[in-house]
Structure 1
Amino acid sequence: MEALPSRSFFLIVLFVHGLSWNIAAEVQGSSDGANAAQEPVRLTDVSAAKEFIDAAEVAVIGFFQDLEIPVVPILHSMVQKFQDVPVGISTDSEVLTHYNITENTISLFRQVDGERLNLESEDIERIDETKLSRFIEINKLGWVTEYNPVSVIGLFNSLVPIHLLLMMNKGSPEYEESIHKYQEAAKLFQGKILFVLVNSSMKENGKVIAFFKLKESQLPALAIYRTEDEEWDTLPLKDISVELVQKFCDGFLAGKLLRENRESEKAPKVEL
């Protein structure tokens, strides 16, 4: 069976995009306006911290012994840079104990796989705005993560071995309804499969589509792969539904490959 090299797959595509790992890591989210005057949310008890984390796909919290340290204003600046990632701060002793904090720590929490990623004291002492932006940008995986040279690093580093890619033109009339259904399906596979969007209207993403032996005429389509054994499958589709996505994922998890059936149907019959 032909295998798609999963880890080299993302590395190759990353360099095809003309970006080295270092340059890709420097890409930062930025925003101005409404969030410019905002500050991190002060989390004064365990209940508030839990609600803060549960309310967002991705959340960042600075757990500090006190606020008279250089990293605090750097964390404040992240509120302006990341509108889609709520930022909080807590110095409450009960909160720190609940999250097993023994030293100044910045943690990124994400719902999609239940992971918590930490920057601890040694990292924090050397951190600056660029490095903290990089840490957040690379690791902020949501229910659906759009593929780009930065997010691919976070996907590559995730402990979830199976990724599902929806290859679709974001400019199509069906996009908004389709992505909503795709997001709903993603919640059914929390911690099992990472859901990714590949915008087929972007020329550079053609390399990703080609890796899965798909043509533009077959899009939109789903492609799924597992990094552990480099297994993969694809499903061209006309309409996206939660049920269809769920069935495709369940089939892959059960070892049923639609691609094999299609290939066997195309193979010429030989009379014995």
Structure 2
Amino acid sequence: MMFLLVFSLLTVCVTADDKESGSFIRLNDVPAAEAFIDSVDVAVIGFFESEAARGYKEFLAAAKQIDKLPVALCSEKEVWAKYDIASDTISVFRKADLHQEHLKLSEARKIETDGLTRFLTINNIQYVTEYNQASAVGLFQSAVKTHLLLITKRGSSDSDPLQQLFRDLAPKYAGKMLFVLVNGKEKSNARVLEYFGLKSSDLPRISIYDSDSDKKWLMPAGKITTERVQNFCDSFLDGELQKQKEDETPEDKTEL
């Protein structure tokens, strides 16, 4: 997230915290909070009245364990009111599915660093989220049930350009589809390839999985271009892919 610290123009509104939380931004007013949330795919804000608040130290420790996660602290009640925060809360703001996740610490039976780390990891759903055991939980908990998968071999010559294509398209489908990157070289992802009827030699491929219907679609093999991927997504959102699947006979199902 190379645009994490784009707040050089907001130095009046954003100040450094004490030594313990010095690596985090402190949001002192609504414009600073809005700028922070708008600047990244996923923004985490710890709304704490003071450093003595329950869960404060555990939150700092958890946030430091997650690489490159944009985290800020806020004790200003004006900002709390903007986001309907009534008590000490850890909030995650996501663009990919237009979702806000709020963990009210007063309602938590137990607060531990490991538990908060898991909460932040699961909810770190970005415009393009890499599939793994932890992110899968967050992906399937999202209200957006349609996943567009780029299944590729990380490190191959075409992997980086395809990932960039994916990232460029993802904002267009915010709240409609979650864009998921699957590294086909990882042994732990072998079952994903098997589910879509793919072998390593078939990669890269684009597919759609809809968890509501538990159905899948493979984009026909061929060069992966922005236009083809966009048409594939739009065909699903328009219902055309679903109709094609319903019209297929067993002999027609050559993709899987």
What TM-score, normalized by structure 1, do the two folds share?
0.78
Q: Does 1:95 align with 2:108?
A: no
Taking structure 1 as reference, are residues 43 and 267 closer, same or farther at Cα in structure 2, changes over 3 Å only?
A: closer
* Deviations 1:59-98 (CA, angstroms, capped at 9, x unpaired): 1101122332242222222342123211111111111111
Given residue 176 of structure 2, which amino acid in structure 1 is its aligned partner?
K
Aligned to 2:26: 42
SS in 2 for 1:126: coil
* Deviations 1:177-204 (CA, angstroms, capped at 9, x unpaired): 1100111111110000001111111123
Higher alpha-carbon deviation: 66-75 or 169-178 = 66-75
Aligned to 1:52: 36
Aligned to 1:168: 152
Stretches of structure 2 that go unaligned for 5 or more consecutive residues are: 1-19
Partner Cα distance (1:227, 1:158) in 2: 11
Q: Does 1:121 align with 2:105?
A: yes
Taking structure 1 as reference, are residues 225 and 68 closer, same or farther at Cα in structure 2, changes over 3 Å only?
A: same
Given residue 102 of structure 1, which amino acid in structure 2 is its aligned partner?
A
Q: In 1, are the aligned partners of 2:27 and 2:73 still within 8 Å (CA)?
A: yes
Aligned to 1:211: 195
Given residue 179 of structure 2, which amino acid in structure 1 is its aligned partner?
F
Which of these residues, 37, 48, 55, is aligned with residue 64 of structure 1? Answer: 48
Query: Larger relative contact order (C-alpha < 8 A, sep ≥ 6)?
Result: 1
| Percentage of identical aligned residues | 36
Aligned to 1:222: 206
Q: Does 1:256 align with 2:223?
A: no
Stretches of structure 1 that go unaligned for 5 or more consecutive residues are: 1-35
* Deviations 1:145-189 (CA, angstroms, capped at 9, x unpaired): 111111111011010011111110012011111100111111110
* CA-CA distance at 1:226 after TM superposition: 1.5
Partner Cα distance (1:132, 1:37) in 2: 16
What TM-score, normalized by structure 2, do the two folds share?
0.83
SS in 1 for 2:133: coil
Aligned to 2:14: none
CA RMSD after TM alignment: 2.5
